[in-house]
Chain A
Amino acid sequence: MRTQDTGGQAAVTAAVMLSAIAALCEYLFAVIIMPVQAVMGLALLSFVFDVVFTAVFISDAAEAARRHKIRSFMLHGRGIVDFCGSVPVLLFFSVPSVIIIASGTESAGVNFMKTMTFFWSSLCITGLLRVSRMTRLASLPLFSGSGMTERHITLICTVICGAAVTTGPVCGFIMRRAGAQYAHAAAGAIAAFMLFIILSAVIAIYSRHFGNTVSSVLDTLDKGFRRREFYLKVKLREEFRDDGIYRIAAFYNETYLPAKTKQNINSPEPAAYRVPEEEVKNFIRNR
């Protein structure tokens, strides 16, 4: 869903940024040892944000389902990042934490909640998932300007978030093993490992996506507009039909190509390719 009004955009931006800052502060407070009340206050604030973003995700998903675009929303939009940044965090971390804080006493249920939050915390991904909500900013016209930019930025953000979340548990394990004495070495190893995963993911996923949805379309259009004999149509992808590049491709397919084909059919002879004179000259020179 694209928020068009400036007030709405500002509200979304504020919520996303506050939620990310709250997530970062929660970690920071844990490290610099702040009063328990402050940590609990932040945990409750983060819980509120988790509820809000879960509600927003459910609303966006329902809207996409109503328009029969749920697959596109989840796979080509930011659905997957929105889901990961809201529902699992709420269910496996926020709600158990709030229950533990609210109950104040020991019981089988509370112990189960403690085990769950401990396991979840050991994955070291809560902060990453909460910060990943910033991907939502890519959908705001204020930042993206067009649907195509939004999609590409969203994909890059999704790839990076995916890579970062994957590295979370590994980094946590390295830090626990290293202890305070080897913190510098561990931090270096983590930074290098994260970069390795992020670059691998961007190169493997995003470059292929860009090649399929931008470069190959432009290459086809270039050949189609320049060469008389080229008659192949651009393969249009329904989910991207609003992208500027696909709108040009649709014009090429439906208007330009039929006119060119008509001219070619009626022409007494086919188009002639240019013989590369330099290569012919080199051939003669080398004989």
Chain B
Amino acid sequence: MSRTGFTGEQRGRASELIRFIFSLPEFCSEPPLFSEHSIEKFISGLGAGYADLFRYNGWFEDMEPASIDRLLLGMLHSVTNEKVLPVIRGFIEEADFTLFDEFSGGSVPDEFRREKLYGFAETLLKLRTTRLRLNSAYTVIRYGIAERYLGEIMRKFPLVYESVASVNSRKLSPDESSLFFKTALILVNCRYLPDGQGYPASFPDIATECPRSINPDDYPEQNPPLAGDFIDILDMRFRNAGYYELPVKGCMSADASWFDTVRKPGIAGVNRQLAGIFYEIALERNW
């Protein structure tokens, strides 16, 4: 029996069951954190259904529903972490964070920053309030969304790129801006932590360094989108909406659909000018 109080067989069966549900068509194409949310609702809502569900082959016999809950939910989180953390870790391990020296007032070893940022991502995954919020950063990193749009914005809207990729008067190159925004999408979740606890030292405060444009709807020419708008729009894009790798028959492409919807009046918190640019790019590239 492990320190969690479950036998190896019980843990093995829980793992098999959770992985099986993840492999169902409804879940295999969804972001792991969203699938986890659905499976969590299923497990928590089983209630009296436990007896019926586990009456075959002696699954979890002699276990109380509360224990089965604890076992399955623990296994669910662990399987999700197995899918999410490698993506975040891969990004952090490959990144060159020396760029952030310019924002933190001194040279800091990359290893230190890697450790801090990874620890911060783990903290976000530990808390229920912040866990789901990490989906935006996960999706943007996993599918290279930031570099995709930054490249197109630089090519088609150079003035907007200059404005978006300027942080604290420093103009970022395409590689730097991609790294900066991916990191920012992880860091921006500190707003959901109690009193911003655990914010990794040696990284700039995103809220201060990346302002948003003021009154973008009234004078779009005088108020080009800023770095904060870019972070916000990507954060909102994948906060509660999944990612479609392939086009769906009869539908507009996923990004074009989403950005076209939010570029219209009535959706607060989105820079409509930037949403329009994203829409134009997504429509052209069929993203």
Contacts and interface: CB of A to CB of B under 8 A. Distances in A.
Nearest to A215: B250
Interface stretch (B112-120, B215-223, B234-242): B234-242
A68 B260 CA distance: 27
Contacts of B26: 273-276
B117 to A, nearest CB: 25
Interface in A219-248: 219-220, 229, 231-235
A284 interface: yes
A264 interface: yes
Interface of A: 212, 215-217, 219-220, 229, 231-235, 257-258, 261-262, 264-265, 267, 269-277, 279-281, 283-285, 287
B39 interface: yes
Nearest to A224: B251
Given A258-B261, A262-B266, A269 B132 contact: yes
Given A261-B267, A280-B53, A281-B53, A212 B250 contact: yes
- Chain B interface residue count: which class? 35 or more
Contacts of B269: 265
A269 B132 CA distance: 7
Interface string B243-254: 010001111101
A265 B268 CA distance: 9
B41 interface: yes
Contacts of B41: 272
A277 B21 CA distance: 10
A275 B53 CA distance: 13
Contact of B258 (A212, A220, A231, A284): A231
Contact of A280 (B21, B239, B241, B261): B21
Q: Which DSSP category, helix, strand, loop or mixed, fits chain A's interface?
A: helix
A229 B242 CA distance: 8
B53 A261 contact: no
A233 B241 CA distance: 14
Contacts of A261: 241, 258, 261-262, 267
Most buried by A among B41, B52, B251: B251
B171 interface: no
Q: Does more than half of chain B's interface fall in helix, strand or loop, or is it mixed?
A: helix
Given A257-B261, A270-B132, 9 more contacts: A216-B250, A217-B250, A233-B251, A234-B252, A265-B267, A274-B42, A275-B26, A281-B56, A287-B57
Nearest to B260: A233
A212 B249 CA distance: 8
Contacts, number: 120
B188 to A, nearest CB: 15
A261 B236 CA distance: 11
B17 A232 contact: no
Interface stretch (B30-38, B81-89, B152-160, B176-184): B30-38
A232 B267 contact: no
Nearest to A267: B240
Given A231-B258, A270-B34, A285-B57, A216 B249 contact: yes
A229 B54 contact: no
Contacts of B27: 273
A273 B267 contact: no
Contacts of B57: 284-285, 287
B71 to A, nearest CB: 14
Nearest to B40: A272
A81 to B, nearest CB: 27
Given A235-B252, A258-B266, A272-B38, A280 B17 contact: yes
A232 B132 contact: no
A235 B254 CA distance: 11
B38 A232 contact: no
A269 B250 contact: no
A32 B243 CA distance: 70
Contacts of B135: 270
B81 to A, nearest CB: 18
B20 A283 contact: yes
Contacts of B16: 287
A269 B240 contact: yes
Given A271-B240, A276-B24, A277-B53, A233 B38 contact: no
B257 interface: yes
B148 interface: no
Contacts of A235: 250-252
Nearest to A257: B261
Nearest to B39: A275
B250 A285 contact: no
B59 interface: yes
A178 B252 CA distance: 55
Given A232-B244, A265-B236, A284 B266 contact: no
A284 B13 CA distance: 9
A262 B266 CA distance: 8
Contacts of A258: 261-262, 264, 266-267
Contacts of B54: 284
B248 A270 contact: no
22 contacts: A212-B250, A215-B250, A217-B250, A229-B241, A231-B258, A232-B251, A232-B254, A233-B251, A233-B256, A233-B257, A257-B257, A265-B262, A269-B240, A273-B38, A274-B38, A275-B42, A276-B24, A280-B21, A281-B52, A283-B20, A284-B54, A287-B56
